[in-house]
Amino acid sequence: MVNETRCGFVAIVGEPNAGKSTLINKLVGGKVSIVSPKVQTTRFNVRGVCVEGNAQLIFVDTPGIFDAEKQFEKAMVQAAWAGIGDADAVLMLMDAKNGLRERTKELIESLKQKCKKPVFLAINKIDTIDKPTLINLAQKCSELGNFAGILMISALKGDGTKDVHKALASHMPESPWLYPEEQMSDISMRLLAAEVTREKIFMKLDKELPYSILVETEKWEEKDANIVISQVIMVQREGQKKIVIGDKGAMIKAIGISARKELERMTEKRIHLELFVKVKPGWKEDSESYRLLGLEYRK
């Protein structure tokens, strides 16, 4: 039937900091994944939903694929490959500025060997290199990979994103839609709120704080146009706690204000946000932390 609906999953994959979270937010028209200049910001698979014609596209923002050494990092990479395995199509994102690095070539080869579904390549940040260089890069990628299509985009500006929608929609299987048309994500607001606060911590502290941080939403209470949220920021050492709190509480206050404003824009409600900092050594080896993020825990 001409009017038969289509629905499927698209895994967005790439190296850390290729712009995957920025792209998925642009594709679905709202914030479903946090963004920061730091690599490996995304820790678990985040789904964003949008509609293109008669097709519903469910984009899965996966953690960046890199050579993981520690157990927590390995769990993130495993989550990324799991997202690829479950997808109906794959969108590989690469940074035009970086070109064809060895890690990029390895990822292209891995997808060619492991992925049996259509793989599209999106060359991101096309405004950062000249046109002849871009054309040459696309040609080299085409020779290396078995791509169903190569797309030129700027995730930050939104250039080329409609081409992404159209290219992927035709590859979705015939199926009823899995989500209401207006829904943008299946991530819970409790988890998204925790991610927003983590984003603000990264933005405020920049290089001062390592990745040894976890935010958990302990309380979420809605009443009329107000939402009361209580969150715990977990760090591994006492020194990290002092950094997050800042001099006379200035830093945690600034983080709270920034997170509250973002959440108010997202929910269109008045937010009352309480932040607490807790030292929890070794939380990255704790099965409960993995459960919170939906990662597979292995001893």
What is the CATH number for 201?
Answer: 3.30.300.20
In a domain? residue 51: yes
**Same-domain status, 19 and 163:** yes
Number of residues assigned to the chain: 299
- Structurally, the chain folds into a number of domains equal to 2
Q: Are residues 17 and 146 in the same domain?
A: yes
Per the structure, the complete domain to which residue 215 belongs is given by 189-293
- The CA distance from 46 to 187, in Å, is 7
- CA dist 62 and 185 (Å) reads 14
| pLDDT tens digits along 140-188 | 999 998 899 999 999 999 999 999 999 999 999 999 999 988 888 877 8
Examine residue 122 and state whether it is found in any structural domain, yes or no: yes
∠ CA 171-176-179, nearest 5°, is 100
Q: Are residues 62 and 145 in the same domain?
A: yes
User: Residue for token digits 């002849």?
Assistant: 132
**DSSP string covering 48-74:** EEEEETTEEEEEEEPPPP----SHHHH
CA-based angle 215:216:222, to the nearest 5?
125
Q: Is residue 132 part of a domain?
A: yes
Euclidean distance between CA atoms 43 and 30, whole angstroms? 19
189 has a pLDDT exceeding 60: yes
Per-residue pLDDT, averaged over 276-298, amounts to 65
For residue 128, pLDDT over 60 is answered with: yes
> How many whole angstroms separate alpha carbon 185 and alpha carbon 61?
11
Q: Looking at the structure, do residues 193 and 149 belong to the same domain, yes or no?
A: no
Instruction: Tell me, yes or no, whether 199 and 117 share the same domain.
Output: no
Q: HSE, CB side, 13 Å, CA atoms: give it for residue 67.
A: 4
CA distance 52 to 54: 6
